Structure 1
Amino acid sequence: MTALLLRLAGPLQSWGTGSRFARRETGRVPTKSGVIGLLAAADGRRRVDSIADLVDLRVGVRVEQPGRIERDFQTARTRDGSESMPLSYRFYLSDAVFLVAVEGEESLLTGLRDALRRPAFPLALGRRSCPPVGKLEHGLHPGGAERVLTETPWMASKRTVADNRAQSVTLDLVVDCAPDTVGADLVRDQPVSFDPANRSYAWRSVAHRRVTVPNPAWTPPPAQAAHDPMDLLEPRR
């Protein structure tokens, strides 16, 4: 097994799962459909193109820093300006960072890695208004998605990492799992087609874990010499 490692970071992200009409929510973690859509865009696939070879990829997400929910709203009028349209509410994740491992065949992942380095279409973190910042792909790694996300050191923002003095941190992990996994949740987030005329999603099972990983900014405290209170006394003459 091989996993392609992605770091998703940006001022804003938005990962919708069931939003419709005038209220567009965001999930707390990237969706599989959003990750597959990002890979398809990098690979130059249009919405009407097949994604059959991508939907079986196993996806795991580790929350490096959860960010916070921000709400925006938009106003609009009809084209002739005579009537106001309903307010449209948009929800985003601000200042969030995620580490995503995409597990699959090495040959397919190699092509996707190369596509991410030279994407055919602009990439987005859920919505077109949310471009990624920083290095997106972090190479191919041996092992499954869960193993890679357990072994990779913390990759939050530099400031967040530097401000944490702990030797290790415990992070949330969401990963694809078998339907009979104890405690698994069902989410309607398995992309079938991105075709605007026939957009379709199926159900998938996910497991929630907690993993402890090293903090790369941690340094051991300096060694202190043994304290002898008698050192403060002047020697006898």
Structure 2
Amino acid sequence: MSERTAVLTLCLAGPLQAWGASSRFERRMTERAPTKSGVLGLLAAAEGRDRGADLSDLAALTFAVRLDQPGTRVRDYQTAHHGDTGKSMPVSERFYLSDAVFVVAVEGRETLIDALYTAVRAPTFLPFLGRRSCPPSRPIDMGVHRGGLWRALRAEPWQASAWFQRRRVRERRIELEVITDLVAGDGPGDAVRDQPLSFDPRHRRYGLREVHSTAVTVANPLGVSRRTPDLPSQHDPMGLLED
């Protein structure tokens, strides 16, 4: 009998995030949502795995990310000098996502998901949002769900900041984009190179992964009805002006 599955959900929120999938050299880009390699790296670090450790169990997890607050892409640059010669190094451009909030879901064997949940609640190495300069602004652990990945994504409340939710106060229900692994029957998708094969710093390796975009609908906790409330029948707007 095969082992039951479970889903771990994580909230990734912070002033800055950076999720690169193919950037190299002096120009370091960011994807518009967390990458599978970045999130699995966070989970491996929480468990205290060595960079050369086997990743096959993590790589087999089904992965999805819900875009609760897309954020804004910002650009920074860095300068440096060689430690031995003092010679100036090339200026590097770094791109980040500012004020973004995501809900990530990973689905897999129940024993593995439970172990990962324990690890993120008491991580061996502190989590960061793509780069070490990007710490999370909230606890990342949300919980473990039974009943499938999509049920978990619909069950988790909208995690956007209150100021962002107030922008859509007239909407009782919010449709949120979800980027997930492509499975048979999902239709056309896109290929991204963020399937981790090895985090060994001497030879990092990533494979291609097919993804596609869809959506789920969640409640807006600040949403109000579009209907204008009825005015009292005895209301007289000119009454205060009378003698």
Q: TM-score, normalised by structure 2?
A: 0.88
Whole-angstrom distance in 2 between the partners of 1:18 and 1:115: 28
2:205 maps to which of 190, 200, 203: 200
Worse-matched range after superposition: 211-220 or 133-142: 211-220
Match of 2:11 in 1: 7
Give the length in aligned residue pairs: 232
Note if 1:175 corresponds to 2:175. no
Query: Which stretch of structure 1 is more off in the superposition, 199-208 or 15-24?
Result: 199-208
What is the CA RMSD across the aligned residues, in angstroms? 2.2
Q: Residue 106 of structure 1 corresponds to which residue in structure 2?
A: 110
Distance 1:229 1:59 in 2: 57
Pair 1:117-2:118 in alignment: no
Q: Please, which of 218, 224, 230 is the counterpart of residue 224 of structure 1?
A: 230
How many Å apart are 1:85 and its aligned residue? 1.4
The farther-off stretch of 181-190 and 103-112 is 181-190
**What fraction of aligned residue pairs are identical, expressed as a percent?**
48
For residue 58 of structure 1, the aligned residue among 58, 62, 68 is: 62
CA distance in 2, matches of 1:208, 1:88: 31
In the other structure, the counterpart of 1:235 is: none
Per-residue CA deviation, residues 134-157 of structure 1 (Å, 9 max, x unaligned), is 121111112222332133331111
Structure 2: unaligned runs, 5 residues or longer? 239-243
- Give CA-to-partner distance per residue, 1:191-219, whole Å, 9 cap, x none: 01100112111111111002221112224
1:128 counterpart = 2:132? yes
Secondary structure of residue in 2 paired with 1:160: helix
CA distance in 1, matches of 2:235, 2:18: 60
TM-score, structure 1 as length reference? 0.90
Instruction: Write the distance in 1 (CA, Å) between the matches of 2:128 and 2:91.
Output: 24
User: How far has the Cα of 1:82 moved from its partner?
Assistant: 4.6
